[in-house]
Amino acid sequence: MNLRGTLPTLILEAIERHPDHGYSIAQRIKQRSSGVLDFKEGTLYPALHKLEMEGAVESYEEFEAGRTRRYYRITRAGRAELAQGRKEWSQVSRAVTLILNKA
């Protein structure tokens, strides 16, 4: 299923509780949607960089298991953006459900 437009919100949701690295974020989104939401992982990083440019996430490098990894953590602005994303999605999904149930 195409994630266009919703990927930033899903990323923010994936790192809401604790910072994580790109591969883990991708896997978490796929697992939590039971494999329904699938996307090309090459587009995950541009989305992360965009969120970083907007100030919604911060990144830092950490040495782990013999190699350096870049971790992303949500910022205060990112939490506000996530709350807004949840609200918008809830409205859209309710509206679509209404339409489809009437059909």
Is residue 13 within 8 Å of residue 63, measured between CB atoms?
no
Stretch 25-44 residues interacting with another protein (CB under 8 A): 26-27, 40-43
- CB nearer to another protein: give 40 or 102: 40
Binder to another protein among 4, 17, 18, 67 (CB under 8 A)?
67
Residue (of 36, 38, 9, 34) closest to 26 by Cα position: 38
- The amino acid at residue 55 is G
CB of 94 to another protein, least distance (A): 30
State the first-to-last Cα distance of the chain, in angstroms, to the nearest integer. 22
| Span near another protein by CB under 8 A; candidates 24-32, 75-83, 84-92, 95-103 | 24-32
* Tokens (6 digits) for 15: 């790192």
| Residues in binding contact with another protein, number by CB under 8 A | 22
